[in-house]
Amino acid sequence: MRWILLSLMALSCACWGEDEEAPGELVGSFQALGLMVEQSCGAAVPAPDPLDLKFDLRSESNGRAYWRLWGGAMFAGIEKGDTYTFQTSQSWMVIEPDRFRGYVGCSVTQRDVFTFEVSVPEVEAGLDGGVEDDAGVHGDAGTEADAGVDTGIDPTLVLITGSQTTEIVPLTGADCTPAVAALGGPFLSLPCRVEYVLSGNGIAPD
Cβ atoms < 10 Å from Cβ of 156 = 13
- Answer with the residue of higher pLDDT: 81 or 141: 81
Residue 154 lies in a domain: yes
Residue 142 lies in a domain: yes
> What tens digit of pLDDT does each residue of 79-92 get?
999 999 999 999 98
Domain count, the chain: 1
Residue 11 lies in a domain: no
> What tens digit of pLDDT does each residue of 101-135 get?
999 999 999 999 999 999 988 765 444 444 444 43
Which residues lie below 8 Å from residue 42, measured CB to CB, with a gap of 6+?
181, 186, 187, 188, 189, 192
pTM score of the predicted model: 0.76
Residue 156 lies in a domain: yes
What is the extent of the structural domain holding 35? 25-203
Residue 70 lies in a domain: yes
CA distances from 120 to 32, 154, 156, 179, 199 (A): 16, 10, 10, 45, 14
Residue 62 lies in a domain: yes
> What tens digit of pLDDT does each residue of 15-33 get?
455 556 678 899 999 999 9
